[in-house]
C-alpha cells in the first residue's frame, strides 16, 4: 500500500492504463489528489476529503481508520463507487471511474468490487446457495457454472454443508461467511468491508479475521473500514485519516515486530 503526494489529474484520465506499482504489483485502486466537498446551506462547505492520494496494490490488506468526521465514510463511498470525487481521480484497475455515469458506475460496483457489510445484507427468503448466486443473477449468468462456483465458495468459507439453510438458521458469524463468499462470486478486483465484524462477538470476530488472513493466501485484496483498533491491527497497513487528509500510514507488521509479539494475534 502506497500513500502518494498530491498530483495533478492526468490529461488521459478516461483511458485505461496498465497500472504498475514500484514493486511490480498491479495497482488495484488509486486515489489521485481526491477532494470531496459538500455544500451545506448557502455559504458552508464541508471538506470531507481534502487532497487524498494513495494506492492499493494486488494482495494488499489495508485498514482505514479515523475519528468521526475524519473522512472515513466519504472515502468508503468513493472506494465503493457509491459517490464521486468533487475533483481528482479515482482509478479502479487503472481506469478513472470518477467521471462515469450512473449505469457504468453500477457496472463497476457489480463486477469489480466485492462488498461486505456490517449487517450482512442477505436475502432472508433465499438459501445460502441462492444468496451466493444473487450477484450473478443480476448479470444474467445463473446456471450450472454459477452453481458450481457457489458450492466451491461456500465450502471455501466453511459452509459447504449449509447450502440449503436460510440466513435465520445460521449464526451471525456464518451469515458473515456467506456474505464474504457472495462478495467473491464475481472475482472482484478487491473486497471492500464496512465494519465487517461490528455485529459479532469477539470470538466470532476472530474467526472472520482469520478467514480474511486465509483468503490472502489466494492474493485476495482487502480494504476494511473500521473503528476497532484490534481489527485494524490484523491488516498489513492502517491508513489514518484526519480532517479529510491522510494523517499517517502505519505498517502493522513493523509495529507488531517492534512490540515483540512476533506477528498478528
Q: Given this model, what pLDDT does residue 9 score? A: 42
Domain ranges of the chain: 2-258
What pLDDT, in 10s, does the model give residues 227-261? 999 999 999 999 999 999 999 999 998 876 666 65
Closest CA to 31 of 187, 199, 244: 244
Mean pLDDT of 136-141: 80
Mean pLDDT of the 178-182 span: 97
| End-to-end alpha carbon distance in the chain | 21
Residue 195: φ, ψ to 5°: 50, 50
Beta carbons of 190 and 113 less than 8 angstroms apart:
yes
- Alpha-carbon gap, residue 170 to 252, rounded angstroms: 33
pLDDT digits (tens, 9 = 90+) for 30-53: 999 999 999 887 788 889 999 999
Own/partner pairs, 153-160, CB within 8 angstroms, 24+ separation:
153/181, 153/184, 153/185, 154/128, 154/129, 154/178, 154/181, 156/181, 156/184, 157/181, 157/211, 158/211, 159/128
- pLDDT for residue 199 is more than 60: yes
Query: What's the CATH number for 2-258?
Result: 3.40.50.300
- Residue % of the chain over a pLDDT of 70: 88
Q: Residue 222 CB: number of other CB atoms within 10 A?
A: 25
| ∠ CA 244-245-249, rounded to 5° | 130
Within 104-210, strands assigned E span: 113-117, 190-194
- Grid coordinates representing 146? 454459477
Average pLDDT, the chain: 88
The H-or-E segment that residue 206 falls in is helix 202-215
pLDDT of 148 strictly over 70: yes
In the predicted structure, residue 179 carries a pLDDT above the cut 70? yes
Q: Is the pLDDT of residue 208 over 90?
A: yes
143 — pLDDT class (breaks 50, 70, 90): confident
- Per-residue pLDDT, averaged over 5-28, amounts to 54
Q: Which CA distances in Å does 100 have to 89, 174, 203?
A: 11, 36, 41
Q: Do residues 38 and 233 lie in contact, with contact meaning Cβ atoms separated by under 8 Å?
A: no
> Residue 259 corresponds to which cell in the numbers above?
512490540
* 3-class secondary-structure state, position 174: helix
Question: In the block, which residue shows the cell 433465499?
Answer: 126
Question: Could you tell me the sign of the dihedral formed by the alpha carbons of 80, 72, 225, 201, in that order?
Answer: negative
List pLDDT tens digits, range 57-99.
999 999 999 999 999 999 999 999 999 999 999 999 999 999 8
Give the model's pLDDT for residue 264: 52
Q: pLDDT tier at 136 (50, 70, 90 boundaries)?
A: confident
Question: Global pTM?
Answer: 0.86
Q: Would the pLDDT of 139 be above 60? A: yes
* pLDDT over 90, % of the chain: 76
Amino acid at each position: 500500500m502506497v500513500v502518494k503526494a498530491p498530483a495533478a489529474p492526468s490529461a488521459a484520465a478516461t483511458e485505461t492504463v496498465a497500472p504498475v506499482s514500484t514493486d511490480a504489483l498491479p495497482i488495484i485502486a488509486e486515489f489521485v489528489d481526491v477532494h470531496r466537498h459538500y455544500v451545506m446551506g448557502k455559504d458552508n462547505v464541508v471538506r470531507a476529503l481534502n487532497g487524498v492520494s494513495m494506492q492499493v496494490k494486488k494482495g494488499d490488506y489495508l485498514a482505514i481508520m479515523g475519528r468521526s468526521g475524519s473522512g472515513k465514510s466519504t472515502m468508503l463511498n468513493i472506494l465503493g463507487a457509491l459517490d464521486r470525487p468533487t475533483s481528482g481521480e479515482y482509478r479502479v484497475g487503472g481506469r478513472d471511474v470518477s467521471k462515469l455515469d450512473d449505469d457504468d458506475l453500477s457496472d463497476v460496483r457489480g463486477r469489480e468490487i466485492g462488498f461486505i457489510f456490517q449487517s450482512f445484507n442477505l436475502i432472508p427468503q433465499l438459501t445460502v446457495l441462492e444468496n451466493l448466486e444473487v450477484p450473478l443473477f443480476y448479470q444474467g449468468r445463473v446456471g450450472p457454472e454459477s452453481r458450481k462456483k457457489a458450492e466451491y465458495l461456500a465450502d471455501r468459507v466453511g459452509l459447504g454443508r449449509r447450502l440449503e439453510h436460510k440466513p435465520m438458521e445460521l449464526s451471525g458469524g456464518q451469515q458473515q461467511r456467506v456474505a464474504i463468499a457472495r462478495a467473491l462470486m464475481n472475482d472482484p478486483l478487491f473486497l471492500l468491508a464496512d465494519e465487517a465484524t461490528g455485529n459479532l462477538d469477539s470470538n466470532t470476530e476472530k474467526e472472520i479475521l482469520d478467514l480474511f488472513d486465509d483468503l490472502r493466501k489466494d492474493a485476495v485484496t482487502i480494504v476494511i473500514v473500521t473503528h476497532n483498533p484490534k481489527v485494524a491491527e490484523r491488516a498489513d497497513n492502517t491508513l489514518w485519516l484526519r480532517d479529510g487528509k491522510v494523517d499517517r500510514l502505519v505498517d502493522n507488521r513493523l509495529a507488531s515486530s517492534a512490540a515483540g509479539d512476533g506477528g498478528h494475534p
